[in-house]
Structure 1
């Protein structure tokens, strides 16, 4: 009774605040116009061309889409006659779905977790199963799905200490939601322990490994690599600053200028995390008196080009393959970092800042296996970063060892996608 009352209050709160939520989306769209497009999908109005009876897999944004790639590929291969609907919550995630799976999956936004919106979504799609990822716990959608006897699977389950603090405040709502999952597949034992502490059933909660390890060099990446290589015009050495956030680019530019004193031919490739910041980063480079070319200009780099701004989506993996050194953005502030496994796949040496909390366990493995260089938060960070870049360029054996160690970690930890597919197959009807 307590849970049903809590769920009712949850539904009423968001229903009453629906106009406010829409206004927030519209305000956000002033910087990113995609947030005011396809607004109907946010309200549960699924596009007409989408077939019902599919496996619905939710990936919130770009990182989740990339992490799910191997799993989705395996689902498509195992169920060639069954529609697969891949949902996202952000425009950038949507674009990534189109790039990776164009014509092979159905796609729409996951609706707001508000009763009429999710009711319309489920009525139209009538899923055979719903697959959520990591910490995507939507109490209303989960409750409605369970009420329709739709099997629920949580893959790559992750509950950090910060998430635990927030979810404990809502334990009366989250604990019953966790019990509605037929299976919860956690990245590691500590994450499983956190799910159990929040109320998940021990019988349904299993350690499966991390989907993010299941990455590989694909034909698409190879083709994109060749395309980028032609534009780079044999430039080198190449230093990539990937998935950068506010403040990161200024740091990279300062470090680049210092490194160029010793390595004047160095090319800096900047890859901002969010498309709405592309123009701002471009202007920052111009203000720093650097010669910069946008990737979207689709023109070859000159020998005097200092910065290449990748203002495109879906090309970072290919760019990693062409790099000599990689620095992960979001690690020099309190963002928590981004995925170091992708550059490791190409045996590239990785430099990070002091905060890798989003990938704490993976980072621990990288540290133990000497596969990463981590900078301290104190002191002159730009000088320290420039020095590490110079050191790696002057010591190719050290760079190679770092890259080889990272690659070994990737290879040793693969297999979560196959495990997740096996669990999904046990939830689907026998005639699927």
Structure 2
């Protein structure tokens, strides 16, 4: 009864907040027009051409789509007769799905977690199973699935000690949500224990490893790598700064100014996280008097060019192959960092900042094998101190090729040693469907 009451309160609250939720989308669409498109999908309406009785896999944004790609590809390869619908929540995630899978899958936005929207969505698709990942918990959708006897699987489960405090405050909502899952596959022992502590049924939990290790240099990535390589006309050392957030670009440009004094031909490749910021970052580079080339304009990068701005989607992974050193954005503030395994796949030396909370286990594994450099800075450090620390470390690695290569080789070994989570997740999903 208590669980039913908590779900009822949640549903009523979201229905009341519906006008505010729509307002948020309108505000976001000011800088990103895609947020005002395909609104019907947000409300639960899907194409009448979509096949039913398949599997829905949700990956919120770009990072999740990339992480789940090996899982999807194995599912398509091993079980081609299962209709597969991939949902996302952001336009960039949507673009990544279309770019990666084209017509191999059905694709739409996940509806808002409001009772009429999820009801329409599930009624249209009649899925056999819903697969969520990491900490994507949608209480209303999950409850609907259980009521309709739709199997529920959580893969790549991640629940850090830091997140536990927040979730425990919502245990009245989260605990019944977790107990509705038929299978929860976690990244590590720590995550496994945290899910159980939060209320998940131990009989339905297992450790499968981290999907993010299952990255592959597939033909599409290799082809894009060749295209990018041909754009650079001269042999140069390259520093790539990936998945940047506000503040990361200023830090990068300050470091680049210092580095160019010792390395005048150094090329900076800048890959922002969010497309709506592409133009403002281009203007920032221009303000620093750096000659900047946009990838979207398909121009060659000559020796006169200082910065190559990757203002396109789906090219971060192949761009990593070009770099001598890669620095991960989102790790110098409170974002929690981004996936260092992407450059590790290409045996690149990787530098991160103090905040890698989203990749704690990955960071630990890389550090244990001396496959990554984490700067010894703190949030309390001044911008000048962080700039000095980053520029000094990049400079050291630019000078010392042996150290760069050793870091990259060690990181690559960690990647290869931890692969296999996708296969385990696919096997567990098929077992759920077969046992219906």
**Alignment TM-score, normalising by the size of structure 1:** 0.98
Quote the residue 2:398 is aligned against.
393
CA contact (8 A) 1:329 1:352 kept: yes
How far is 1:16 from its partner? 1.4
Quote the residue 2:70 is aligned against.
70
Aligned 1:30-429 pairs, distance under 5 A? 30-375=30-375, 376-377=377-378, 378=381, 380-429=385-434
Show CA shifts across 1:371-426 (max 9, x none): 11111233622122222122111110000000000000000000101110110110
Instruction: From the superposition, tell whether residues 127 and 406 of structure 1 become closer, same or farther in structure 2 (CA, over 3 Å).
Output: same
Q: Distance in 1 between matches of 2:248 and 2:160?
A: 24
CA contact (8 A) 1:132 1:154 kept: yes
CA contact (8 A) 2:234 2:303 kept: no
How far is 1:430 from its partner? 6.9
Q: Distance in 2 between matches of 1:261 and 1:174?
A: 53
Q: Distance in 2 between matches of 1:159 and 1:109?
A: 24
Secondary structure in 2 matching 1:371: coil
Instruction: Give the ranges of 4+ consecutive aligned residues of structure 1 lying more than 4 Å apart after TM superposition.
Output: none
How far is 1:429 from its partner? 3.5
Q: Distance in 2 between matches of 1:370 and 1:34?
A: 42
CA contact (8 A) 1:331 1:337 kept: yes
Secondary structure in 2 matching 1:382: helix
Structure 1: stretches of 5+ with no match in the other structure? none
Quote the residue 2:22 is aligned against.
22
CA contact (8 A) 1:235 1:267 kept: no
Q: Distance in 1 between matches of 2:165 and 2:109?
A: 28
CA contact (8 A) 1:184 1:206 kept: yes
Q: Distance in 2 between matches of 1:228 and 1:272?
A: 17
User: Aligned Cα RMSD in Å?
Assistant: 1.1
Secondary structure in 2 matching 1:17: helix
Q: Distance in 2 between matches of 1:32 and 1:228?
A: 26
Q: Distance in 1 between matches of 2:166 and 2:128?
A: 31
Show CA shifts across 1:172-192 (max 9, x none): 121111111111001001101
How far is 1:234 from its partner? 3.2
Q: How many residues align?
A: 431
CA contact (8 A) 1:336 1:357 kept: yes
Show CA shifts across 1:9-31 (max 9, x none): 11111011111111110111001
Q: Distance in 2 between matches of 1:429 and 1:407?
A: 36
Structure 2: stretches of 5+ with no match in the other structure? none
